[in-house]
Structure 1
Amino acid sequence: MTAMVLKAAYAALATVNYSAQIKKAELKAEVEDKDVTTFASLGWMEYKGGLFKAGLSLSFLNDYTDNGLDEAMWTAFLAGDPIAFEVRAANATVTASNPKWTGLVLVKEWSPLSGSVGDVAGHDVSWPTSGVVTRGVS
């Protein structure tokens, strides 16, 4: 059985590599299921794929350095325009065995401060993609 342990994944937003501040990343894509059942379906439901959608979920460790993560995401949030993203399973060259997924995400929420006494400054986000998500191997 082949398995991979994520140890050094890559995550970039607006072309900036934030891998050192992201401890979890998930890109989830799905397609609408459209019912195309007819009497010829012999009592079984039949489906075709409709529109696609995807979302990027990230767990951040925040900082407040000048021109850092918080400032960049706050700026993107206020702008209301999608920003580029790229994720890979390994922070290494893109190949057939280390593909990249790219597209645009809408920074629809940002929590600049979240936590209790003694907590690490960080939070989780789930952002929708905007447009096509591409899988590349080069």
Structure 2
Amino acid sequence: MPKMVLLAEYVAVNGVDLSAYAKKAELTTKVEEKDVTTYGSQGWKELLGGLKSGELALDLFQDVAASALDSIMWPLLGTVVTFEVRASNAVVGTSNPKYTGSVLINAWNPISGSVGDEASVGVSYPTSGAVTRGTT
């Protein structure tokens, strides 16, 4: 059985490669369950898929220097921007698909942590529109 270790995941937001700041990037997608059970279902629940949605969760090391992470993300607050994630920063292909779409930047935590902690930011952004998988 093939196995994989994530060593060089790629994540970009609004066309900017944030991989150097990222320690975790997680894209989840799901479909609403719509219950269409009737008396004719003979006691078994029947479901159909409804609306699709997704979320891009990121754990990033904060950097407030000029042209660094905070100055990249702060102006995006309240906007819908593009994203791209893939398991490796290698070339996109059948063994390294890319997942793309748009997310709403609905929060930004410029300062977070306790004494002695690394300066990090954890955020989760809802997708807006379709998420696509590409191999080219």
**TM-score (normalizing by structure 2):** 0.96
CA distance in 2 between partners of 1:36 and 1:136 (Å):
33
Give the helix-richer structure, 1 or 2. 1
State the aligned residue count. 136
Structure-1 separation of matches of 2:93 and 2:37: 41
Instruction: For 2:112 and 2:79, locate their aligned partners in 1 and report how far apart those are by CA, in whole Å.
Output: 24
Q: Which amino acid aligns with 2:97?
A: P
Where do residues 46-85 of structure 1 align in structure 2 (5 Å cutoff)? 46-77=46-77, 80-85=78-83
| SS of equivalent residue, structure 1 residue 20 | coil
How far has the Cα of 1:132 moved from its partner?
Answer: 0.8
Q: Identical aligned pairs, as a percentage?
A: 53
Q: CA RMSD in A?
A: 0.9
Deviations 1:64-122 (A, max 9, x none): 12122101111001xx2211100000110001110000011111111101112221111
Q: Secondary structure at 1:71's aligned position in 2?
A: helix
Name the structure 2 match of 1:115: 113
Runs of 4+ residues over 4 Å off in structure 1: none
Q: Distance in 2 between matches of 1:122 and 1:84?
A: 22
* Matching of residue 14 in structure 1 with residue 8 in structure 2: no
Query: Tell me, which stretches of 5 or more residues in structure 2 are unaligned?
Result: none
Give the secondary structure class of the aligned counterpart of 2:72.
helix
User: Is there any run of 5+ residues in structure 1 with no aligned partner, and where?
Assistant: none
Distance 2:114 2:35 in 1: 47
